[in-house]
Amino acid sequence: MTPNQSTLTPRAALPTTTPVVVRILLYALAVLMPMESISMGPLSGQITPTSLIAYLLFPVSLFTYRACFGKVPRALWLFGIYTALYWIEGIMVPGSMWSYVFGYGFTVLQMIPFFWILTNVLKDDKLSNGVVYAFALGCLGLVICQYLHVQGTGDAAIAEKTMKQGRDTVLGEDPIKTAQSYSLGLLCCIGILVGKWKWWQKATVVPVIPVVLFYMLLLGARGAVLALVVGAAVFLLAGKNLVQKSIVIFIVMSIIGGVVFISSMNKTLNTRWNLAIHGDFAKREVLLPIEVEMVAERPLFGWGPERNLVELGHRTGRNRFDMHNMYMWVATEVGLVGFAPLMMGLALCLVGGWAARNGNSGYLPLALMVALLVSNCSISTLHRKSFWLVSAYALATGSVMLPSDRQQRSVSQIADVGRNAQSLEG
């Protein structure tokens, strides 16, 4: 290889050592992840199919620790700092709040080793492609649950309130959370269509897109729709020639056109978009100034887990109220001391998504990461596995390309020195 040739190493060229049992568990987890709150009957509660598979994944990974617990990414340490601060502040809140603090905190704590495993195994190109494909198909399962009005482990009160508004809900979940899963699944479908996936995978996701898009819009989640549009726009950067760029533009514009058409045909959706145009964002425009005020009052360490939600509730005439914003949730929860490392970790994942654009995954990791961050402006999904799957996917695919980028620059510098030496000799 000559010095001026590219030395970017595609992930397919790297050794794949992920054990078969880990692959099977991850494929099953990915396909069920959009239906994270599906009920297991008598075992319902904290145990769901995805949590059961995750519990199986942890001990299996210990037997294959070299593949699953290899490199410790810097983002993991930053996420660990946030988690540690959560627990330190959590034990200081009144005892009446411990039930929520420990339940939510234990869920987030589990995501740390989960993220660690994913950042190592998803460097395997075949595995990461399979996980993306499985997640996209899993959204069809979520569509079936929505069509059949399946009630899962979510809050029945939320489901009833949503249905009275003329909006769909599924598995008893907040429709914004469900719509986020749909938006991520749709971006996976777009990534498969414009990326280096197999022809049969491309063919099978084509009919998935209109079905998932239709049922997503029935949820009336404007934040998730915005995240989908912004994430889809990332793909406009893809394409190496005019033909490829034209195909990408056609696919993205078709998605955006579908959003506009379906929304205009549904009276409830049309009303909600008109309200948004006139500045009504389901009272989030009222909540945000209050949340900023809470951050200003206790900027360093925040109000503490659960106490921040109770305080917001008191300021809005309720016993407890959701922040409806991940960034304000964390800032009021653990203050800027905990907010900073979490945001720095997510920034590293975003950078990884940008670096991954030169690899086999193309712009998909970046698009997913952008959509995830945008959608969390209207909801907090820090406790959901899909949040950490997307973050790990972006970081893992980008971490493979970054060393090669540095190698390419080093080789280029060596070549420049060689040319300069030759010119001096001449």
pLDDT at 162 over 50: yes
The region of weakest confidence among 13-17, 132-136, 367-371 is 13-17
Work out the average pLDDT over 274-289: 72
Q: DSSP secondary structure string, 209-257?
A: HHHHHHHHHTTT-HHHHHHHHHHHHHGGG--SSHHHHHHHHHHHHHHHH
CB-based burial label for 142 (10 Å; 0-12, 13-18, 19+):
buried
Find the helix or strand (DSSP H, E) in which 125 lies: helix 125-147
Contact 85, 331 (CB under 8 A): no
- Cα–Cα distances in Å, from 90 out to 83, 383, 410? 10, 16, 47
Q: What sign for the dihedral angle of Cα 195, 200, 201, 203? A: positive
The region of weakest confidence among 12-16, 207-211, 302-306 is 12-16
pLDDT band at 346; cut points 50, 70, 90: very high
Residue 244, pLDDT score: 73
Contact 56, 25 (CB under 8 A): yes
For residue 73, give the 3-state DSSP assignment.
Answer: coil
pLDDT band at 11; cut points 50, 70, 90: very low
pLDDT at 155 over 80: no
pTM score: 0.87
The region of weakest confidence among 23-27, 268-272, 282-286, 401-405 is 401-405
Contacts of residue 357, defined as CB under 8 A and 6 or more positions apart, other chains included, come to: 237, 238, 363, 365, 366
Work out the average pLDDT over 166-182: 83
pLDDT band at 408; cut points 50, 70, 90: very low
Contact 92, 98 (CB under 8 A): no
- Cα 162 from Cα 167, distance rounded (Å): 6
- Cα 111 from Cα 30, distance rounded (Å): 15
Contact 67, 120 (CB under 8 A): yes
For residue 253, being part of any structural domain is answered with yes
- Cα 25 from Cα 356, distance rounded (Å): 25
Q: What are the tokens at 109? A: 């704590």
Which residue has better confidence, 205 or 64? 205
Contact 118, 147 (CB under 8 A): no
Residue 237, pLDDT score: 87
Q: How many CA atoms lie within 13 A of 397 on its CB side?
A: 30
Average pLDDT, the chain: 83
For residue 311, being part of any structural domain is answered with yes
Give percent of the chain above pLDDT 70.
82
- Cα 313 from Cα 323, distance rounded (Å): 9
For residue 241, being part of any structural domain is answered with yes
- Cα 172 from Cα 152, distance rounded (Å): 6
Residue whose C-alpha is closest to residue 225's, from 258, 195, 247, 188: 258
Work out the average pLDDT over 393-418: 61
**Helix, strand, coil % (nearest 5) of the chain?**
75, 0, 25
For residue 188, being part of any structural domain is answered with yes
Work out the average pLDDT over 154-181: 74
pLDDT band at 165; cut points 50, 70, 90: low
Residue 41, pLDDT score: 61
- Cα 284 from Cα 92, distance rounded (Å): 29
Residue 411, pLDDT score: 44
For residue 8, being part of any structural domain is answered with no
Work out the average pLDDT over 142-153: 85
Rg (CA), the chain: 23
Work out the average pLDDT over 341-367: 94
For residue 135, being part of any structural domain is answered with yes
- Cα 19 from Cα 94, distance rounded (Å): 45
pLDDT band at 157; cut points 50, 70, 90: low
pLDDT band at 166; cut points 50, 70, 90: low
Q: Residue 13: left if φ>0, alpha if ψ -120 to 50, beta else—which one?
A: alpha
Domain extent, residue 177, equals 14-411
Count structural domains, the chain: 1
Per-residue pLDDT reduced to its tens digit, 371-400: 999 999 988 899 899 999 999 999 999 987
Contact 43, 153 (CB under 8 A): no
Q: What are the tokens at 4? A: 């001026």
Residue whose C-alpha is closest to residue 361's, from 273, 238, 236, 253: 238
Render the burial of 258-290: b for 16+ CB within 10 Å, e for the rest. bbeebbeebeebeebbeeeeeeebbebeebbeb
Size (the chain), residues: 426
DSSP letter for 69, please: S
Per-residue pLDDT reduced to its tens digit, 213-258: 999 988 878 888 889 989 998 998 887 778 778 888 888 888 888 8
For residue 424, being part of any structural domain is answered with no
- Cα 235 from Cα 367, distance rounded (Å): 7
- Cα–Cα distances in Å, from 395 out to 98, 134, 218, 291? 33, 19, 32, 30
- DSSP H helices, 377-425, are 385-425
